Structure 1
Amino acid sequence: MTYSMTAFARRETEIEAGTLSVEVRSVNHRYLEPSFRLPDTLKPVEMSLRERLKKQVKRGKVDVQMRFYLAQTEAGLDVNLDRLQALGGALDKVRQTILDSAAPNALDLLQWPGVLAEANVDMDQVFAESKSLFDTALKDFLAHRQREGEELAAALRERLDGIETIVAEVRKEVPEWVETFRDNLRAKAQQLSVDLEPERLEQEVVLLAQKADVAEELDRLDTHCQEVRHILKAKGAVGRRLDFLMQEFTREANTLGSKATNSRVTQASVDLKVLIEQMREQVQNIE
């Protein structure tokens, strides 16, 4: 199964204590690089979420953002009178010492830590719900990566078909090259008024045929195509293996071009390089 390294998922749920939301997104990266942004109240679950992610994802720069909005209950808006009186006494001392100090307004006083009574929140439940929500979002995230991965695999197979077609066409023309070499040598000999002996002619034809022999390159291109198809059916992260094969494809296409003895082979080498480069760009997105 082929997975893409780019994906996005978002989930939100209402719980007794408030609202939890999580976003998971990723882009290409050579290794797995997770980044978590959680509020302080959810920091205790970060390690567990990281472990969950590492079990499912092998490559990519993955950003996870989780938010927790506390429900506004009546208990959450109660004023802690003891705390407020203590704060007022402290402010009186400040004004006695610094006569021109400005008095805070009511909103400033409510924002002082401990003045508003905190709601009684069961954090164990919040932690459990946050893990469950992350698991759901991670499932959506992986499904997105799988859908895109299948599209990438289809694009690769289409290019492989093109490469195999070019290889088959060149292979079909190879037997004709020997006769072409022989005809060209005879024509040149006639132009130069040279009496070319049959044995010498055949020796020259053999030398030219050896220099232009591309059977090995064609065989390796076919083998690489078969290996890519095999890898696309394999489980786990396959992007690096595919990236290596793209280098091998390029090497064979270059060698084929360097041995070209006619415009058809030169054009075949160029067409191969175009298809290989298109595959290489797609492979960069595969996990």
Structure 2
Amino acid sequence: MIQSMTGYGKSVLHLPSKKVTIEIKSLNSKNLDLNTRMPSYYKEKELAVRKKLASNLVRGKIDFSIYVETTAEVTSTKVNKAVVENYVAQLRNAMAIDAADDIELLKMAIKMPDALKTEREELDENEWTQIDTHIDEALKEIIAYRTDEAKSLEDDFKLRITNIEVALEEVKKLDGERIENVKERLQKALTELKVEIDENRFEQELIYYLEKLDINEEKVRLGNHLIYFLEQLDTADSNGKKLGFIVQEIGREVNTMGSKANFAVMQKIVIQMKDELEKIKEQILNVL
């Protein structure tokens, strides 16, 4: 079963002093393009997170984020009391004002360098274990999103392939008429020239010319490629690159068939095939 590369997963963890939100977003990309954003005290776990994301999501432009919101009254940022008192004293002396204006001085001092200090938060392994579990939940959610997103893609692919198969059957029916049409046009052209021709030589040249216009191999290969595409679409794994290669082969056979057709009715059908194929190409870029 195929998966789309477009997806979104989210999980929220409520801890005693904080709320941790984990988000994973994914868009289509030829390879794995992974970006992670997390607080500095979780950075030592970044490599493990990247490996987990890569093994589960495989391909796509992936943005992974951990947002932390403090919910308790305790904060890691504190007033550096000694530094602020020193600033206030210096400002009072510099400005020669009394203690009655200390509030204004305090407002100025708190904006000075080192007036506030932030204590570095250390990684809590028990806390990370809970976060890691919620990362798994977010991964399950984005994979489910990708699978659901791919269902509409799969239905569209099957419709387009069916349309090409129907067109191929029409081409097969027209092939005999096409050959007769080519013979008649050549014979008519020679008749209009009003010259005597060697019938044996004419037959030889005609056979050579018709061999160049023969599309039997293209019809067989195109039919096989269409079957193979549907088989790969129904496999357990999602392999967008492989499906893309098959689409390229389908396009090659359709193009060759069009260049050899030399018959207006058949060329119109080939154009319909190309139109269906272009719609597949647009969507196949989003398949994992």
TM-score scaled by length of structure 2: 0.83
| Aligned positions of 1:43-192 closer than 5 A | 43-73=43-73, 76=74, 84=81, 86-92=82-88, 94-95=90-91, 98-99=94-95, 103-105=105-107, 108=110, 112-113=116-117, 123-192=124-193
More off after superposition, 276-285 vs 210-219: 210-219
| Aligned positions of 1:162-241 closer than 5 A | 162-193=163-194, 199=200, 202-241=203-242
Q: 1:190 to 1:20 in 2, by over 3 A?
A: same
- Partner residue in 1 for 2:267: 266
Aligned partners of 1:240 and 1:89: how far apart in 2?
66
- Residue pair 1:26, 1:60 contacting (<8 A) in 2 also: yes
Aligned partners of 1:195 and 1:26: how far apart in 2?
72
Structure 2 portions without partners, runs of 5+: 98-103
- Partner residue in 2 for 1:28: 28
- Residue pair 2:36, 2:64 contacting (<8 A) in 1 also: yes
Aligned partners of 1:35 and 1:15: how far apart in 2?
25
Aligned partners of 1:3 and 1:78: how far apart in 2?
43
Equivalent residue pairs, number: 279
- Residue pair 2:5, 2:27 contacting (<8 A) in 1 also: yes
More off after superposition, 221-230 vs 90-99: 90-99
Deviation of 1:5 (Å): 0.8
Aligned partners of 1:71 and 1:254: how far apart in 2?
63
What SS is found at the alignment partner of 2:22? Answer: strand
Deviation of 1:20 (Å): 1.1
Q: 1:72 to 1:111 in 2, by over 3 A?
A: farther
Aligned partners of 2:75 and 2:186: how far apart in 1?
100
* Sequence identity percentage: 25
- Partner residue in 1 for 2:100: none
Q: 1:106 to 1:128 in 2, by over 3 A?
A: farther
- Residue pair 1:59, 1:237 contacting (<8 A) in 2 also: no
- Partner residue in 2 for 1:17: 17
TM-score scaled by length of structure 1: 0.84
- Residue pair 2:13, 2:131 contacting (<8 A) in 1 also: no
Deviation of 1:18 (Å): 1.9
Aligned partners of 1:187 and 1:80: how far apart in 2?
99
- Residue pair 1:10, 1:23 contacting (<8 A) in 2 also: yes
- Residue pair 1:217, 1:256 contacting (<8 A) in 2 also: yes
User: 1:208-233: per-residue Cα shift (whole Å, max 9, x none)?
Assistant: 42122111111111121122112212
- Residue pair 2:8, 2:145 contacting (<8 A) in 1 also: yes
User: 1:173-222: per-residue Cα shift (whole Å, max 9, x none)?
Assistant: 22233433444444445545556676455445423421221111111111
Aligned partners of 1:276 and 1:3: how far apart in 2?
20
- Partner residue in 1 for 2:101: none
Q: 1:13 to 1:277 in 2, by over 3 A?
A: same
The two structures, once aligned, show a CA RMSD in angstroms of 3.2
What SS is found at the alignment partner of 1:22? Answer: strand
Deviation of 1:122 (Å): 8.4
- Residue pair 1:243, 1:283 contacting (<8 A) in 2 also: yes
- Partner residue in 2 for 1:281: 282
What amino acid is aligned across from residue 244 of structure 1 in structure 2?
Answer: F
- Partner residue in 2 for 1:250: 251
Deviation of 1:31 (Å): 0.8
Structure 1 portions without partners, runs of 5+: none
